[in-house]
Homo-oligomer: A and B are copies of this chain.
């Protein structure tokens, strides 16, 4: 963001579905305060006073995503899995509109199937999967990209759920990471999209059964993506209409 004043913190809202943590002891053991708390702590730890971070969850009124909160959010991260259908369509509309107006969105792991990600991309976002705890290697295919700054080549994740191609998304505007799995599958797991005035980053690591969000390189990627997705001050934060323009209006 060429014009962003680095003295003004990026306002980050970490949204969590917060269901697995409540229902499954194994997940709670990994994330005692919830996955959203771990993600938020990772961002804050990496970026310090360059960000102000808060969280919101499905269980709150309006899922914690009021219009006021979205207006005050530069980047929203989204993790959901088992309860996509419980997200209220009015909230989906609101988040969709906020992204088109310029709010950044990080869609994490199973958020590929979230309503708002599908709405923004327009495709099924389907993929292959297998949850057997295999080694995942996350390879940078665009080393100069700011989201790859300071990230190990490859990121080694000892055990994770497999997500494999074909991943039914539009061709990404920028492809940053491609994963391989011990079983041989590959996955375009780090993809940038630009929709309206908003920047979207999809990042596949992050199944609830593994301590992925404690991994330093995963935290680094998410922190980088927060900075990449933050709108510049010239971004209007409003979805444009279709104005009638009289001839010579610009003179």
* Assembly stoichiometry (copies): 4
* Nearest-CB residue, chain B, relative to A1: B146
Pick from B100, B178, B196: contact of A165, CB below 8 A. B178
In the bound complex, what is the Cα–Cα distance between A194 and B181 (angstroms)? 27
B residues less than 8 Å from A232 (CB atoms): 144, 146, 149
Q: Is A193 close to B, CB under 8 A?
A: yes
| B-contacting 9-mer, from A22-30, A83-91, A123-131, A205-213 | A123-131
1/0 per residue A221-251: CB within 8 Å of B?
Answer: 0001001100111111001111111111011
CB pair B170 A247 closer than 8 Å: no
Which A residues fall within an 8 A CB radius of B?
A: 1-3, 6, 96, 100, 102, 113, 119-124, 126-130, 132, 134-135, 137, 139-144, 146-150, 152-154, 156, 162, 164-168, 170-171, 173-175, 178-186, 188, 193-199, 224, 227-228, 231-236, 239-248, 250-251
Subset of 21 A-B contacts with CB under 8 Å = A2-B224, A3-B146, A100-B124, A100-B168, A126-B240, A126-B242, A128-B244, A130-B244, A130-B247, A139-B164, A140-B165, A140-B166, A143-B166, A149-B232, A149-B233, A154-B184, A168-B239, A170-B173, A171-B194, A178-B186, A183-B247
